[in-house]
Amino acid sequence: MYEDVVTLFNRKVTDAGVLWYPTVIEGVHVAPESVAAEAGYGRARDDRAAVLIPYVWAGGAPCVGGKTYVPPKLWQKVEEPAAYVTFAGGEDFDFFITEDWLGTEPVEDGAWPGGFYGYLAGQRDNVFAVTAVSRYKALPHFEVTGR
């Protein structure tokens, strides 16, 4: 069941601009939902996905993709963001793609036409902005939903 891979991009605002920190997470389950809705001007797509991401305990905290999980506000304050992972929704959202990103270095948002997220969403399928996250302890996993 947990045979999929996603790459999560965490958004970090710096003095130099926005950076996206990638984390490849293997051994997840992606449950896509493709919705075609009838709008007043024709059909519109509203693709969504839920990703079940198992975690293990390491050093007293959940560990995902080889990185320590911290809540979004704390992640913005850590000195080495590449060593941590978070799932943020809302205005300062993170996003994920349903494939393995080949790079490990932070991606500069301004280097991409329309910003990195906007560029990928316009060029590829299965690019999802994080909208919600739940953490479960009985069967340790996160459920991250995206749109």
Identity of the amino acid at 78: V
Residues (pLDDT < 70) of the chain are 34-46
pLDDT per residue as tens digits for the range 102-141: 999 999 999 999 999 999 999 999 999 999 999 999 999 9
Q: Say whether pTM exceeds 0.95.
A: no
